[in-house]
Each structure stands twice: as C-alpha cells, then as structure tokens.
Amino acid sequence: MRLHRNLVEAVVQGLELIFSKDTYADKAIERLLKSNKRWGSRDRGFIAETCYEIVRYKRLYTEIAGVGQRMTNRQDGFRIFAVWAVLRGISLPDWPEFKGTPERRIKGRFDALQKERVYRESIPDWLDQIGLEGLGETLWEAELSALNQVAPVVIRTNTLKTNPKLLQATLTEEGFETDPIKGQPEALVLRKRGNLFKTKSFSEGWFEVQDASSQRVAPLLDVGAGMRVLDCCAGAGGKTLHLAALMENKGRILATDIYPGKLNELKKRARRAGAFCIEARAVKGPSDLKRQKGKFDRILIDAPCSGLGVLRRNPDTKWKLRPDQIETLVQTQREILSGYSRLLSPGGKLVYATCSILPQENRQQVDWFLDTEAGAAFKLVKDEKIFASASGFDGFYLALLERK
C-alpha cells in the first residue's frame, strides 16, 4: 500500500480533532470528509477506517509512540500514525515527519504490551476494573476483543414499504450484496461496506440502518395494530420506526425525548419511512404526561446508557466516559423506570433496554425496580443479555416486564 500525503494529513488532522479538541469521532470524520469533495470512496474509506482504528487502540498506540493520550501537536499525530502503519507492515514514505521512526522498537513494544489487557485491548484502568467486576475475566476479555472489531453494517427492511426479498434484489441491482440473518426476518447484513445512503432504496424509505441486536428490541414489546404505545426515550427514532412497522401503521405511538433536536430527526425519518402513526413530542419528564396515566398498552424504555455494548461503532466512548457519568446514568435510568412505568395500563407490557453490557445498568436495574413501590405492580417475564462476543452484533440488554 502506498501512502498519499493528503490522506495521511487528513488522518492526522482527524486525530487532532478527536484527541485534543474532544470532537466526537463521527463528527470529526464527517467534517474531514466534507472538506475535500475530490476524494473518492476508497480515499474516504481509508481516512475513516484509519481514524477509527487508531481511536480504538488509542492507549496502545500512544504508549508505543511515546506520546501523551491527549495529542499536543501535529508531530504526535504523525508518530501515532507511524505506529499504526508499521504494525500493519506498510512502508513509511521518506517524509520528514517519519524520519527516524524506530520500526523494530515499535514491533518489540507491541509484542511486550500484548501481555497487558489494558494496553492490548486499549481501555482505561477504571473502566477495565468495572468490566472485570461486572462480567468476570473470561467474558470481559472476550467482549473487549469483540468490541474492538469493525461492526458489520446491518439494515432493517421497512415492511411498511417493501419486503426483505424485494429489498435484497433491489439492493443487488444497486450494487450492494446482502445476506439474511437467521431468526431475524427483516434484517440484512451487507457483504461489503459502501455508501448505502446514496441508493434509491434508501431515499424511498425501504430500509433503515440498524444493528441486528437493536432490531430485537421492538418485537419483544409484542405490539399489535391499534395499540397505544409510548416510546419514552425515542431519540432519533430507530426503534419507533420499527414499532410503527410492526403495528402496520395502525394505532398511535407517542415518541418522547428530552431533546427536541433528536425528535426532529425522527420526524424526518418517519416521513421517509411512511410511518404515520407516530406523534413526536419533547417532554421534560413523565409528569408532562400525567393526564395519560394508565392509558398506554405498551411502553418502551430504550434508556440512556454508557453505550459500552456499541463500542465498535463509537470507540471514542472508551475515552470520553467518566466514572461519575456511569453513576449519573444509573440514577437517570432508575428515575425513568419509576416515572414512566406508572403510565402503563394494567395488563400492559413494558420493555427496558440498553446498549450496555454492565449489570448495574441492566438486570440490577430491573431487580431494583421490582423492589420499589412502582415496581411492585410488575413482574419480570424474561430478559436477555446480548454479548458481541457471542452474537457478532452489538451488546444489548432487553427485559420484558408485565403490569399485573
């Protein structure tokens, strides 16, 4: 592989944005890619994938490069890049920035650091401790390794507009080969990454990009046409749209969130998907809906969480998350569970879901809730922990509760 200066410069600029300016990796890469319209899809792929790979292994690469984890100058960026290239067996060009790169030392340090999990898998000490305590060594190591892989691209067929067979055939015509996923009839996984958003199938609303684990949440709620459903952490609506399709657009879904901006995105997606049974409303909390107490047949709580199950998509979570934020999230999840569960009708069903793998955000929250005054009216029907190491998809937790 020959390295092109403008692409390497772009990666270094991306690392500066992410590591020193605290820009989210996806935003930094989006900004970079917009800055040069002449880059083709291969160039764009190189920039995005290299930045993500370096973010994933930031602790390992910065340690080998002998630079601080907060990059302080452009030369640090080139040093980190050089480590990435040497470890991949890519020859470094004869540029001043790479002069004196200690290739043998880099390989030696890499081998030595493989013995230490916090470097091998690149994870902060405090987070490693939490994972170890929550999952035990064998599972935690397997998860860390699985979460450092590149995530497959999975789409969900929008059954309001098409069916999986027709979508698969149309995408093939549009240049995208896909495979079905066993046990998940609406899901298709892409054989090779590419820009799906440019396809006619996408602009016509035939599919949404949604990981296979995430696609398991809405079906668990067991919705039916004509029901009244509350999706109280709806965000940009990935699961709301799935619920609307399962309800065949019949009934009513109230999609709420505390951030109106996310709901605006939901409205756009709902229009494209032809999902008309959704009302999106920004609320401050469950008290804004107190007049609808006991009126919902189904409630989905897709709770805000640490996102540790989706590190493959957002590897910078490892570096942005702080210990006190996990404590705050646990508190918020409890408030959401206690507050919104009161709005469910007797005999109704509630799903609590997170894209975390930590017990304190998952089963321990359900157990806590069942012990509270609000939770005494509920029983746990079933729950499931989905691990990336076992499923090949995102880490998730799902619990189905029923109001007695």
Neighbouring C-beta atoms of residue 368, cutoff 10 Å: 16
Contact 376, 325 (CB under 8 A): no
**What CA–CA distance (Å, rounded) separates 244 from 300?**
13
395 forms part of the interface with ligand SAM (CB under 6 A)? no
Cβ at position 350, least distance to ligand SAM in Å: 14
- Give yes or no for residue 386 binding ligand SAM (CB under 6 A): no
Select the residue interacting with ligand SAM from 302, 316, 361, 394 (CB under 6 A): 302
For ligand SAM, the binding residue among 109, 239, 298, 312 (CB under 6 A) is: 239
Task: Confirm if 355 and 214 have CB atoms less than 8 A apart.
Answer: yes
Residue nearest ligand SAM, CB atom distance: 235
Q: Concatenated DSSP letters for 135-201? A: H-HHHHHHHHHHHTSPPPPEEEE-TTT--HHHHHHHHHHTT--EEEETTEEEEEEESS---GGGSHH
Q: How far is the CB of 21 from ligand SAM (least distance, A)?
A: 23
361 binds ligand SAM (CB under 6 A): no
Residue 128 touches ligand SAM, criterion: CB under 6 A: no
302 assigned binding-site residue: yes
- What CA–CA distance (Å, rounded) separates 134 from 358? 6
Residue 394 sits in the site that holds ligand SAM (CB under 6 A): no
Query: Does position 155 bind ligand SAM by CB under 6 A?
Result: no
In the DSSP assignment, the letter for residue 26 is: H
Q: Whole-angstrom Cα distance, residue 246 to residue 263?
A: 20
Could you tell me the smallest distance in angstroms from the CB atom of residue 90 to ligand SAM?
A: 37
Which residue in the set 144, 233, 253, 358 belongs to the binding site for ligand SAM (CB under 6 A)? Answer: 233
**Interactions with ligand SAM, residue window 83-122 (CB under 6 A):** none
Among 134, 235, 348, 375, binds ligand SAM (CB under 6 A): 235
Size of the site for ligand SAM (CB under 6 A): 16
| H helix count then E strand count, the chain | 18, 11
Q: What is the phi/psi pair of residue 398, to 5°? A: -130, 135
- C-alpha distances in Å from residue 259, one per residue of 263, 282, 326: 7, 6, 20
Asked whether position 375 contacts ligand SAM by CB under 6 A, the answer is no
Catalytic residue annotation: 355
Reduced to 3 states (helix: H, G, I; strand: E, B; else coil), residue 225 is coil
Q: Helix 41-56 vs helix 25-34: angle between axes, to the nearest 10 degrees?
A: 160
Stretch that binds ligand SAM, among 28-36, 46-54, 232-240, 385-393 (CB under 6 A): 232-240
Nearest partner of 396 among 319, 312, 297, judged by Cα: 312
Q: If binding is defined by CB under 6 A, does position 238 make contact with ligand SAM?
A: yes
Q: Which residues contact 155 (CB under 8 A, 6 or more apart)?
A: 167, 178, 187, 188, 189, 190, 196, 207, 208, 209, 210
Residue 316 touches ligand SAM, criterion: CB under 6 A: no
Q: According to the binding rule CB under 6 A, does residue 329 interact with ligand SAM? A: no
Computed on alpha carbons and rounded to an integer, the radius of gyration of the chain in Å comes to 23
Q: How far is the CB of 336 from ligand SAM (least distance, A)?
A: 5
Q: Which of 186, 257, 297, 316 binds ligand SAM (CB under 6 A)?
A: 257
Q: Which is nearer to ligand SAM, 77 or 307 (CB)?
A: 307
Q: Which stretch binds ligand SAM (CB under 6 A): 30-38, 74-82, 187-195, 231-239?
A: 231-239
Q: 288 among the known binding-site residues?
A: no
Q: At its nearest, how many Å lie between ligand SAM and the CB of residue 170? A: 24
C-alpha distances in angstroms, 10 versus 14, 51, 82, 123, 150? 6, 9, 14, 25, 21
Rounded to a whole number of angstroms, the minimum distance from the CB of residue 212 to ligand SAM is 14
Q: DSSP assignment, residue 3? A: P
Among 145, 332, 338, 372, binds ligand SAM (CB under 6 A): 332
Smallest distance, ligand SAM to C-beta of residue 259, A: 5
Binding residues: 257, 302
Give me the residues that bind ligand SAM (CB under 6 A), please. Answer: 232-239, 257-259, 262, 302, 304, 332, 336
Binding residues for S-adenosyl-L-methionine: 257, 302
